[in-house]
Amino acid sequence: MSLRLGDTAPNFKAVTTIGEIDFYEFLGDSWGVLFSHPADFTPVCTTELGRTAQLSNEFKKRNVKAIAVSVDSVEDHRGWVKDINETQVTDVDFPIIADKDHKVAELYDMIHPNASATHTVRSVFIISPDKKVRLTLTYPASTGRNFTEIIRVIDSMQLTDKHSVATPADWNPGEDVIVSNAIKTEDATTKFPKGVREVKPYLRYTPDPAK
């Protein structure tokens, strides 16, 4: 059965490019981004892993750990990392899981038989520090992931976890957010001293409370 939002992310032990890990221990109290790749030495995935490495400081700022998974061996992974570093002008500093037995792929329902019976689809799982699945994305093999969007969603979730707000379409940090409908307008004006702009009784905006 596929994982749903709010489900507990399954734990696992796996061999990776940094040695054997326990997934929960690896994450610790950090957020996690687990993303899968159909196979090593593939062009789209090479750009994706390179982009993840280029965004290393952005992930660290947000207390996020990235970890990738592919069905090939650690030896293949290490050879691939050399190519990634060379072609993407970066330094891959996160682990890549060797999932030859498809253990992780099956735990996270990453193999979709109608797409491929042996290779993982391009999945993304964002996991919060309490080990809950907070976002899932699945891309077709021909389309590279948008890592700017992944960072944006993390920013939104971290903000909305802390404040009683939601983020509107295309929101980016620093832009106005939506006041939760659980808060009455008279209470919202006290809770959000920067001001509340009411468009409709159910649609109220306030400046980003994190700024």
- Render pLDDT for 152-208 as a digit per residue (tens, 0 to 9): 999 999 999 999 999 999 999 999 999 999 999 989 999 999 999 999 999 999 999
Q: How far apart are CA 115 and CA 35, in angstroms?
A: 17
| Helix/strand/coil percent split, the chain, to 5 | 30, 25, 45
Residues 6+ apart with CB under 8 A from 77: 16, 17, 40, 70, 96, 98
> What is 13-145's CATH superfamily?
Glutaredoxin (3.40.30.10)
Catalytic residues: 45
Select from 3.40.50.970, 3.30.1020.10, 3.40.50.10320, 3.40.190.290 the CATH code of 163-206: 3.30.1020.10
Same fold, 13-145 and 163-206: no
pLDDT digits (tens, 9 = 90+) for 43-93: 999 999 999 999 999 999 999 999 999 988 999 999 999 999 999 999 999
DSSP state of 17: B
The full set of domain ranges for the chain reads 13-145, 163-206
Query: Exposed, middle or buried: residue 85 (CB in 10 Å: 0-12, 13-18, 19+)?
Result: middle
Degrees to nearest 5, angle at CA 17 with 13 and 19: 50
- Tell me the CB-side half-sphere exposure of residue 171, using CA atoms within 13 A: 22
Over residues 123-144, mean pLDDT: 93
Single pTM value for the model: 0.92
